[in-house]
Chain A
Amino acid sequence: QKEVEQNSGPLSVPEGAIASLNCTYSDRVSQSFFWYRQYSGKSPELIMSIYSNGDKEDGRFTAQLNKASQYVSLLIRDSQPSDSATYLCAVIPSQGNLIFGKGTKLSVKP
């Protein structure tokens, strides 16, 4: 059973701090990794993708991938209240379709 695991949270950080969201996956040969943001009552939207080990930065967001540890993370710098949402980690395994984690709820306090 291929799985994607996330801490459900809620993760609470003060405005301006760094929020760190973590995800582990079970399929060792997965190659594609994604982070989605989902506001309450809304649909998921893709915010980051990463395919190789290391860091990928896009504005205030940094995705980090460590395939040896089967670990992917999302850092949000200078967190804003508007970042408060549920963040879904998703993985495309070696065989099969996109698998989502259950998400981590982030709350950024003003």
Chain B
Amino acid sequence: DAGVIQSPRHEVTEMGQEVTLRCKPISGHDYLFWYRQTMMRGLELLIYFNNNVPIDDSGMPEDRFSAKMPNASFSTLKIQPSEPRDSAVYFCASSLGYTGAEAFFGQGTRLTVV
């Protein structure tokens, strides 16, 4: 298996634009997690899904952020409108069973909002 695949790897966008980050989890994994990492706040859980259903979105910072998982092999994290403070590395991770600590991480998307 190729592991968790995220795209794009890097994204530079202007403030106010919509940004969509994509994730393909490991086949067969039933949990999917979205994280954000910054120097100031470290690694934070934004939302996680179980069998494509959002379970806990309490980490989503604002209504500008939304996440979907239309099927078992694809998830998106959307920011609309984007702001400079959204600049961070966004990681997707997946696991078999809620072993959130043992999830496999994708390589991340580095987002820069100018």
Which residues in A have some Cβ–Cβ distance to B below 8 Å?
A: 32, 34, 42-46, 49, 88, 90, 92, 97-98, 100-103
Which 10 pairs between the two chains have the least Cβ-Cβ distance?
Answer: A43-B105, A102-B42, A100-B43, A34-B101, A98-B100, A97-B45, A100-B42, A98-B101, A43-B108, A43-B107
| B106 lies within 8 A of chain A by Cβ | yes
Report the Cα distance A71→B26, complex, angstroms: 33
* Distance between A14 CB and nearest chain B CB, rounded to angstroms: 27
Taken together as a complex, chains A and B put the C-alpha atoms of A35 and B41 apart, in Å, by 18
Tally of contact residues, B, Cβ under 8 A: 17
Indicate whether B102 reaches chain A with its CB closer than 8 angstroms: yes
Q: Given the complex, which residues of B lie within 8 Å of A103, measured CB to CB?
A: 42
Instruction: Name B residues whose Cβ lies closer than 8 Å to a Cβ of A.
Output: 39, 41-45, 48, 56, 59, 91, 100-102, 105-108
Give which listed residue, A34, A43, A90, contacts B91 with CB less than 8 A. Answer: A43
Q: What's the Cα separation between A92 and B107 when bound, in Å?
A: 23
Taking A43-B91, A100-B42 as contacts, is the C-beta distance between A90 and B101 under 8 angstroms? yes
Of all chain B residues, which has the CB nearest A6? B42
CA distance A100 to B103 in the complex (A): 14
Query: How many Å lie between the Cα of A49 and that of B101 in the bound state?
Result: 9
- Which B residues lie within 8 Å of A32 (CB)? 101
Partner of B106, one of A43, A92, A102: A43
Q: Are A97 and B91 in contact (CB under 8 A)?
A: no
